[in-house]
Structure 1
Amino acid sequence: MVLWTRLAPEPLAPDGGLPAEIIQVAWELARDPGFRQIAASGTVYAEPAWAHSVHVEPEGLEPEQTYWYRFHALGATSPVGRTRTAPAQYAPVSRLRLGVGSCQHYAQGWFGVYRYVAADALDLFLHLGDYIYESTWGDDLVRSQGGQEPVTLTDYRRHHALYKTDPDLQAAHASCPWLMVWDDHEVENDYAGAISQNNDDPAWFLKRRAVAYRAYYEHMPLPRTMVPLGPSMRIHTRLHHGALADLHLLDNRQYRSPQPCPKPGRAGAAIIRDCNQRLDPAATLLGTRQEQWLAANLRASTAHWNLLGQQTLMAQADSAPGPGQAFFSDGWDGYPAARQRLLDILAEPQPRNPVVLGGDVHAFWVADLKKNFDDPRSATVASEFVTTSITSQSLPEDRIQATVRENPHLRYANGTERGYLRLDVTPERVRADLLAVPSVKVRAPSCHVQASFIVEKDRPGPVPI
């Protein structure tokens, strides 16, 4: 458990409105929302070097219990947050309710989706990246995040603080524990390792990456083991939810190979055809060490379900109608050899019941993950659910549906609405509800279930219900 806050009476000021002094912060963790039964408490010190952020990791708590927490500093008391401890590692667990979200451009819409996250009584919420956007783009913007792209530590701190001022996002954070991984926009669009989209000098870009990672840590409920060291910050991890599920959280930005066949004079993504570089067997999305770590953890897992929290669509998505193929190079389609290495492991008897979760593409996608995507008769080795964006604008729907028609393993896709994904996990099945709002241009949109699917244990492949 990590309890997070930041002291910032003027959050958009360069110093948060505080002097460059260390400030004492008291914290309390209770078994009841009225704080009559205190389970743990203590004092920590918010340092200006870390933007007066606080990361508390209480110890000695009971497993699978709900707690409430708050902070006291400078004569003020924070709002109360609700959190939970995980079940003991091998304990029998009957249920996990997991929310999944990604891609929340501040200017493109109100965060009304989070009103429903906050009310959903989730055990966990998993954010799969693009928590902030470094640049402004899109049509029919509802608010401003400023026109200047962040480059310095002060810039990134202001960006995070601006997003955190949204009351619906605050309420969702306070409603349940959050698990975090990043994607590209927390630093810069389409970056790959030390290579920026603009193909900047890698030494310069790594300095930018270092301050972006530092600001990310300062503003997220992350443990001390994830503290950044310069431009390096390990965020991939595994968490156990009793005997029910292992959650493998991945980082597909920090260690990846550059995207294949970029446009002349640039790096980053492109729609590519006839690109031999794409087939490079040494290319990697996760990096060699993370690949080896993931393989070992998957093969060692004894859980009923193995949930992979990663950033984007894993299934092949050929966007060229008829003969020939075209792929978006920034996702797994740009790294088919790396994907095949992972799918080969998912096809083994251990791990049991793999389900891949993704975001990034601003649309709901549901897919069979095949041993060989070019052969419709190939075995399905895992199930995939990709959440739509919280606010970020999607591709035209006709292009999405054309891709579905071209790829029979893509069972469903819809980019017309924003929202989030909710999984209800039991030992026998996973139910996925695709929760959508018709508009993010209003502060309080309605919310409905766009579609629902079930994956039965030992039977990979989502089935609509």
Structure 2
Amino acid sequence: MRLNRRDLLKAAGAAGALNLVWPLSAGLSPAQALEAAQALGAVYDPAPFTLGVGSGDPQPGSVLLWTRLAPEPLAAEQALPDIVEVEWLVAEDPALSRVVARGSHPASATLGHSVHVAVHGLAPGTRYWYVFRALGKSSRVGRTKTAAAGPVPRVRFAAANCQAFHDGFYAAHRGIAAEDLDFVVHLGDYIYEHGPVGGDHVRDHDAPATFTLADYRRRHALYKGDPSLRDAHAAHPWYLTWDDHEVVNDYSGTTGGAPFLKRRSAAYQAWYENQPHRDASAAGGAGLPDPEIHRVRRWGDLLELTVLDLRSYRSAQNLIGGTILGAQQKGWLKQNVSAAPDSWHVWANSIMLSQLRSRVGGGYMFTDQWDGFTAERKEVLTHVLNSGMEDLVVVTGDWHSAFVDDIRPDFDNTASPVIGTEFTAHSVTSGAYSADWNRTNGPVMGRGNPHLKYFEGNRYGYDVYEATPARFSAHLRVIADRRDPNSPVTTLTSFHIDRGVAGSYEDPATKSSPAQWRRDQ
């Protein structure tokens, strides 16, 4: 019988076993914390590159390389000099014999001995391999790819979200690492600020929440202990946004007193230190970061990726005149829509854009998502319609279940035109509703939301998206068992969108796959 991490922790607590407690419990030494993490399946790379390597934010001639020195990954402080020089190298081959760029970068204690190197002068649409060296040791070899330029016949990428360490193993990331991809998009909830819980608002006394910079650094280090996550980072370049649990459940970035602002600042810094994210505010390696998430990136003439930040600038929910984007980001998004090129337009969106009523004529299920900001949603989507922009695809996380929705400027008006499609992906591990809940409520949600085409909530995994000049396809990859780090990956179903035709359709070959709701087409 396989046990997930939550079950192991419960069993250990009942038995009083020190080596199976929550690794970030108060009072554990770094060695004890590491032992506890290893008992839950954590395995680290050799020191000092224990947390692996990664790359991100690829552009046609540039990519961002990342690592972080952490000889004792779960220690509050690292026994390292204030500044460690880290050498880096980029080559055209896995053996690193055809070197195209090299240099060194200072890893400072101020930024957790993290390294963010923006490498320029690379060829568009090209794979490269890279390595870091420091303190007489070398990191694993990572692989990356620059964004394409000009005509592109295909773009293929994966989207992942919601990966609670205590809820299971990252077999989904093992699958992502093995995929043939141009890049990965992470849609948020990379970490959870709490440990094993009965719900988002209840914390176990042995799994204290994160508040300080040291807390968040250790939380990220624990999550990086899953080898499949490190493999996925080393295999592909990533674009990243965040949701709430990188800081605290359901937070608004513009409200809260001084203690919350201090906590948010610590969380943002630790997130930056542990991610392959390009951020101009800390480009010199010494300044404190203030990560800017929203950006537009293009993959040749085929795909425009718009990454949104739906946490940092939002107001409280359900306010007249409330905002989820903030005035500056909203203006930026509308301006980009007005100037959009002729391509597929993909919005990386951390929380559900489409309306989700609890039943016919009922209230919204959750107003932490765009349903809490209905006027702004209608404003933005009406602008998309009026601009004439076509081929809009929104990829979303957060829900721990899979949805496929038609996007309309006015979701309550079935005569409102379809202007795009939203794909909400399964979670990597984070617990979904029960099979009984899904079986009962899938049809209820379907009948209450005429734009909802598909719902499946019993599985875990990730999505793979493929764009060609003629069609955009979404392949819902699922794992067999999140309790198994080597769980096989299969395709549950696929949906397609034809270029120039708003709305999706399910692939006939997979339409008989299990689901709790399908709208007849």
TM-score by structure 1 length? 0.90
Q: CA deviation at 1:50?
A: 0.7
For 1:326 and 1:236, the matched residues in 2 are separated by 27
- The 8 Å contact of residues 246 and 303 in structure 1, kept in 2 or not, is answered as no
- The 8 Å contact of residues 359 and 389 in structure 1, kept in 2 or not, is answered as yes
Q: CA deviation at 1:36?
A: 1.1
Match of 2:132 in 1: 71
Q: CA deviation at 1:204?
A: 1.6
Match of 2:68 in 1: 6
For 1:247 and 1:353, the matched residues in 2 are separated by 12
1:209 counterpart = 2:254:
no
Match of 1:52 in 2: 113
Counterpart of 2:295, as a letter, is T
For 1:102 and 1:152, the matched residues in 2 are separated by 24
Q: CA deviation at 1:350?
A: 4.0
Match of 1:336 in 2: 374
SS in 2 for 1:209: helix
Q: CA deviation at 1:345?
A: 2.0
- The 8 Å contact of residues 27 and 69 in structure 1, kept in 2 or not, is answered as yes
- The 8 Å contact of residues 184 and 239 in structure 2, kept in 1 or not, is answered as yes
For 1:239 and 1:358, the matched residues in 2 are separated by 17
Counterpart of 1:35, as a letter, is L
Match of 1:419 in 2: 461
Match of 2:54 in 1: none
- The 8 Å contact of residues 392 and 420 in structure 2, kept in 1 or not, is answered as yes
One of 31, 36, 60 as aligned partner of 2:92 = 31
Match of 2:170 in 1: 111
1:110-259, aligned counterparts within 5 Å?
110-138=169-197, 147-195=207-255, 201-225=256-280, 227=282, 232-259=290-317
Counterpart of 2:234, as a letter, is A
Q: 1:120-167 deviations in whole A, cap 9, x for unaligned?
A: 011010001000000124569xxx996011100000000011111110
Counterpart of 2:317, as a letter, is Q
SS in 2 for 1:399: helix
Counterpart of 1:325, as a letter, is G
Match of 1:402 in 2: 444
Counterpart of 1:44, as a letter, is H
Counterpart of 1:312, as a letter, is I
1:298 counterpart = 2:337:
yes
For 1:454 and 1:318, the matched residues in 2 are separated by 25
Question: Which stretches of structure 1, 4 residues or more, deviate above 6 A after TM superposition?
Answer: 228-231
* Distance change in 2, residues 1:205/1:366 (3 Å): same
For 2:279 and 2:361, the matched residues in 1 are separated by 51
TM-score by structure 2 length? 0.80
Q: CA deviation at 1:75?
A: 1.1
For 1:248 and 1:400, the matched residues in 2 are separated by 30
- The 8 Å contact of residues 346 and 382 in structure 1, kept in 2 or not, is answered as no
For 1:239 and 1:169, the matched residues in 2 are separated by 24
* Distance change in 2, residues 1:59/1:464 (3 Å): same
Q: CA deviation at 1:340?
A: 0.4
1:422-433, aligned counterparts within 5 Å?
422-433=464-475
For 2:288 and 2:249, the matched residues in 1 are separated by 20
- The 8 Å contact of residues 313 and 324 in structure 2, kept in 1 or not, is answered as yes
* Distance change in 2, residues 1:231/1:40 (3 Å): closer
Match of 1:198 in 2: none
Q: CA deviation at 1:373?
A: 1.3
Q: CA deviation at 1:304?
A: 1.1
Counterpart of 1:111, as a letter, is Y
1:325-364, aligned counterparts within 5 Å?
325-364=363-402
* Distance change in 2, residues 1:330/1:230 (3 Å): farther
- The 8 Å contact of residues 344 and 393 in structure 2, kept in 1 or not, is answered as yes
Match of 2:24 in 1: none
Q: CA deviation at 1:349?
A: 4.5
Unaligned runs of 5+ in 1: 196-200, 261-276
Q: CA deviation at 1:327?
A: 3.4
For 1:72 and 1:323, the matched residues in 2 are separated by 60
Counterpart of 2:505, as a letter, is V
1:453 counterpart = 2:495:
yes
SS in 2 for 1:57: strand
* Distance change in 2, residues 1:307/1:146 (3 Å): farther
Q: CA deviation at 1:348?
A: 3.1
Q: Tell me the percent identity.
A: 39
Count of matched residue pairs: 434
Match of 1:101 in 2: 160
* Distance change in 2, residues 1:227/1:388 (3 Å): farther
1:371 counterpart = 2:432:
no
SS in 1 for 2:482: coil
Match of 1:264 in 2: none
Q: CA deviation at 1:376?
A: 2.1
Q: CA deviation at 1:428?
A: 1.0
- The 8 Å contact of residues 300 and 350 in structure 1, kept in 2 or not, is answered as no
- The 8 Å contact of residues 50 and 218 in structure 1, kept in 2 or not, is answered as yes
- The 8 Å contact of residues 337 and 387 in structure 2, kept in 1 or not, is answered as no
Counterpart of 1:2, as a letter, is L
Match of 1:273 in 2: none
For 2:212 and 2:490, the matched residues in 1 are separated by 40
- The 8 Å contact of residues 64 and 84 in structure 1, kept in 2 or not, is answered as yes
